[in-house]
Structure 1
């Protein structure tokens, strides 16, 4: 399954030689566990969780609730695995995720969810707001995402 994220793709493409794993609500547990198993999320191997957001028509950055909740879901799993070593930003994302009783309802009701539904993409919103539906951890390798081994 591929759900395009133009802003996320731009960020990944500009990351240089950094190791990039793609995470979302769909694979949050898998990504969090993979990061912890590979020693990420510690002082020795810090990790950046980037809630990429969207772009307004004028090119300005538009925060996206679904991206914040996805980063928060990954941060929650990572914190469970490596302890309370997260940055204040990652901790805030985790708290936002944990404080959202119905993630699917929140994503459906947020501005980007409503915009996509109005554009005929209700099924995409429904799928993208599923928590831990997928166990694949996509890694950026030579310009393409492949499943982590």
Structure 2
């Protein structure tokens, strides 16, 4: 088991922030909860699905056993955006999930937000995004979390460089994480770690978040692939009241 140095744990703060799977593993132990932020598109898709009554089971994208995993749990499995069909209309596309029939249980693989969610052990995991930032923060504070004794760790999922197992810090996740930190601060959580404070400053200082995210690398990637609708759904700001919490292996609304 890898030992995380004290300086990396942000232990003096009630709201902490890190990047990716390694960041979640560093901050998760000792946290009251971990908020995973993968705006394009895992946690946005979770918010859309949970709004429709679907329980979402995270599963790492690179593991080819997703179909078997789903069958064992009485769930349907999401496929790649370009592989949807009448028989399998579910994918990581939040816009597509709105059009698809609402499944009772959905396995939703992704290499970033889903993999991080599945890897965090021993503490509640919450799916946060721009659509539900205020709802997530309010629920967390009502649990008594977001203090030095009961810290909240916000994890910006980031992306991977194509063909590389290397983290690409993604501006949409930085902005989404900052929005959740800002909502936590407004609700009385804190103090904020420097990392969390920097993300909050970056988020609240942006006057047009939808345009920024549509124009960023990840937004352009989706638009160039024909999925600009996913970016539009992901930049619906604070429209959702759902608080998806990972319980018994599936995200469900905690309210």
TM-score w.r.t. structure 2 length?
0.56
Q: Secondary structure at the match of 1:79?
A: helix
Structure 2 CA distance for partners of 1:6 and 1:133, relative to 1, 3 Å? farther
- Matched-pair contact (CA < 8 Å) for 2:148–2:190: no
1:22 to 127, 139, 142: 127
1:101 to 194, 199, 207: 207
Name the counterpart of 1:13.
118
- Matched-pair contact (CA < 8 Å) for 1:51–1:67: yes
Name the counterpart of 2:181.
75
Residue 18 of structure 1 deviates from its aligned partner by: 1.3
Name the counterpart of 1:145.
251
- Matched-pair contact (CA < 8 Å) for 1:66–1:129: no
Name the counterpart of 2:144.
39
Within 1, Cα distance between the matches of 2:181 and 2:203? 9
- Matched-pair contact (CA < 8 Å) for 2:147–2:190: no
Aligned-residue CA RMSD in angstroms?
A: 1.3
Residue 6 of structure 1 deviates from its aligned partner by: 3.1
Within 2, Cα distance between the matches of 1:134 and 1:80? 18
- Matched-pair contact (CA < 8 Å) for 1:107–1:113: yes
- Matched-pair contact (CA < 8 Å) for 2:160–2:167: yes
Within 1, Cα distance between the matches of 2:211 and 2:181? 21
Structure 2 CA distance for partners of 1:145 and 1:127, relative to 1, 3 Å? same
Runs of 4+ in 1 over 2 A off after TM superposition: 2-6
Within 1, Cα distance between the matches of 2:111 and 2:140? 24
In the alignment, structure 1 residue 49 sits paired with structure 2 residue 150:
no
1:119-138 matched pairs, under 5 angstroms: 119-138=225-244
Q: Secondary structure at the match of 1:86?
A: coil
Structure 2, unaligned stretches of length 5 or more? Answer: 1-47, 50-93, 95-107
Within 2, Cα distance between the matches of 1:45 and 1:18? 11
Structure 2 CA distance for partners of 1:84 and 1:16, relative to 1, 3 Å? closer
Q: Deviations over 1:46-85 (max 9, x none)?
A: 0100010111121211111111111111100111112551
2:193 to 87, 101, 105: 87
Within 2, Cα distance between the matches of 1:34 and 1:144? 18
- Matched-pair contact (CA < 8 Å) for 2:179–2:203: yes
Please identify, of 134-143 and 50-59, the stretch whose mean Cα deviation from structure 2 is larger: 50-59
Structure 1, unaligned stretches of length 5 or more? Answer: none
Higher helix content, 1 or 2: 1
Within 1, Cα distance between the matches of 2:252 and 2:190? 30
